[in-house]
Structure 1
Amino acid sequence: MSVLLEKVERGRANLKGFNPARLKSDFKNFILNKDHPCIMAKTVISMDQLEIMAYHDLGSAETAEILLKDLETYVKNYDFESNDFRTFLAVFPESIKYSEIEFEKLLWKQLEKLHKKDSKEWDHAVSSDPENDNFSFSIAGKAFYIVGMHPGSSRKARQSPYPAIAFNLHWQFEKLREMGSFEMVRDRIRERDKALQGSINPMLEDFGSNSEAKQYSGRKVGNDWKCPFLSGN
């Protein structure tokens, strides 16, 4: 283990409030008891399939190193033969309340640093170009759909108790399609989102219809929005 990694591991142990059971309980309350629209998130939480870890400093190189290690372990241990879905949740319990623009900048800064430290090739099933309709973020050789959440989000479904990044394997959505459940799950989530907030998230689109990069932070962006992540770096 590198000196930097040892330092980060020691620091994580001293995180204020870093108690996995407490953090999981807070997110369980957020998902299960506040009419959260995502039925997949509810299933993951209910079946105790949420892997949750806490980190210092959203957007830092130190966080990128330990988070990458954790995600590599997550991918290595994932059972791709099972129909059970799991979500990896990176939580930043010490972070301040960000504006939507502040959070978006830090989210992409963290993803950029993750990418720079990742030695694996981009998942060939998706594009590495955030302008491409088939873009999806790749870590440890696997495509992930990223969901940024924070208390300052304008979308109620993203107003998590602490700033957090959910990493959902893209494979899970393809598995839903294979099972013939994708459209039903998608439509049910959108119906629940509209019931919760009066409208569905305007950024939501099916994979392949537009770059999913626009969806990651949860902020409403226009057609002129440019992804801060530069593919090929």
Structure 2
Amino acid sequence: MTTDTRTAAPTPAGTAGLRSPDEHHGLETTLDLLARMDLAHASEADVLRAMELMVTHAEFPCLGAKSVFRRGSVAHVVLDDMDDPDVPARLLERLQAFAADIDGESGFHSFIATFRGPLPTTEADFEASLFGLLQRLHDADDRSWADGVGSDPNDPHFAFSAGGSAYFIVGLHPAASRVARRAPLPTLVFNPHGQFEELRAEGRFDGMRTTIRRRDEDLQGFVNPMVADHGDSTEALQYSGRRHAAGWEPPLDVKPAAGSEVLDLHTDDRVKTNTDTRTDTHQGNPHDDLAGRTAQHD
């Protein structure tokens, strides 16, 4: 079963079947309460309402996410299982419809895919499901990679492409060590890359980024060690929300595009046009998770 919804402005608390937690609860407590509500078997309206309660909470740090819910510029689909082999085709179809729907519109927009399962118990479990889905989504996509971003997952200018559009992906799930990533159900947020370029062109990007990172530090106690600017390191490091040690490479095999190799007239060898230029800029104990706890890495 699936649902695909373009939200209107936020509904008042309690209009869906989901009963809102007390507004005086902190974000972490609110998320704990939502996690106990068995949303995997709830109505689609309640699943969407739970995401809205998370994002619109006063402590939630991401201003862009707040904006899309406030303006009603969210497209939301609920799918049964993240590992279902039928999911990529459905997801690709909806992403293409989303891209067509927002074409020419300014401001923030997000496509949110929430899955009723599987519910991960570790960050590694969620990351495996996330990249497994992205691989199958890419394999099902017959359109060229999006213009303006790298297609090599290790490239500092990499961004995921679906249906010819580039997206920055934010993974959310109940086992996340960062509070801001701790959604009650596994969720992928596809943020169009073009809207970040629009912010840069308007001179608003740096200020917004600084505010979001400050708010995340206020919530968690320290800055997310995985955050980096586009062009400094591959953004795929940030997709799952899991902390990675130096040398980690995204488990994503991107098929070469037509013309991605050129003939060197002097050596008659074929040379790839994309090279791995990533340098790791992250510091800290590689065995700590994103909440600063000692974690076991696979």
TM-score, length of structure 1 as denominator length: 0.90
1:17 aligned residue: 42
Distance 1:22 1:67 in 2: 20
Q: Residue 146 of structure 2 contacts residue 161 of structure 2 at CA under 8 Å; is this kept in 1?
A: yes
**Which one has the largest radius of gyration?**
2
**Structure 1: unaligned runs, 5 residues or longer:** 1-10
User: What letter corresponds to residue 142 of structure 1 in structure 2?
Assistant: S
The CA deviation string for residues 38-81 of structure 1, in whole angstroms up to 9 with x for no partner, is: 0111111111111111112213320111111111111111132x
Q: Kindly provide the amino acid, as one letter, of the partner of residue 32 in structure 1.
A: T
Secondary structure of the structure 1 residue equivalent to 2:133: helix
Work out whether residues 37 and 192 of structure 1, in 8 Å CA contact, stay in contact via their aligned partners in 2: yes
Residue correspondence of structure 1 range 44-193 to structure 2 within 5 A:
44-80=68-104, 82-193=105-216
SS in 1 for 2:76: strand
Separation (CA, whole Å) in 2 of partners of 1:50 and 1:167:
10
Cα deviation code 1:160-179 (max 9, x no counterpart): 12110000000010011011
Matches within 5 A, 1:21-36: 21-33=45-57, 35-36=59-60
State the TM-score, normalized to the length of structure 2. 0.71
Structure with the largest fraction of helix: 1
Over 6 Å off, 4+ runs: none
* Structure 1 residue 84 displacement after superposition: 2.4
Mapped partners of 2:172, 2:62: distance in 1: 13
Contact 1:176 1:182 in 2 (8 A): yes
Report the CA distance between 1:147 and its aligned residue. Answer: 0.5
- Asked if 2 retains the 8 angstrom alpha-carbon contact of 1:59 and 1:113, the reply is no
| Structure 1 CA distance for aligned equivalents of residues 46 and 218 of structure 2 | 29
Identical-residue share of aligned pairs (%): 35
Preserved contact between residue 30 and residue 161 of structure 1 (Cα < 8 Å): no
Check conservation: 2:160, 2:167, Cα contact below 8 A. yes
| Letter in structure 2 aligned against 1:128 | S
| Per-residue CA distance 1:55-112 (angstroms, 9 max, x = gap) | 12213320111111111111111132x3222100000124323310000010000000
Q: Which of 1 and 2 has higher RCO (CA within 8 Å, sep 6+)?
A: 1
Mapping 1:187-226, distance limit 5 Å: 187-226=210-249
Which amino acid in 2 is paired with 1:50? V
What is aligned with 1:4? none
Task: Check whether the contact 1:60–1:113 (CA below 8 A) recurs between aligned residues.
Answer: no
Matched residue SS, 2:2: helix
Q: What is the RMSD of the two structures over their aligned residues, measured on CA atoms?
A: 1.5
CA distance in 1, matches of 2:158, 2:77: 26
Q: Secondary structure at the match of 1:147?
A: strand
| Superposed CA offset, 1:182-221 (max 9, x none) | 0011000000000000111111000001100100000000
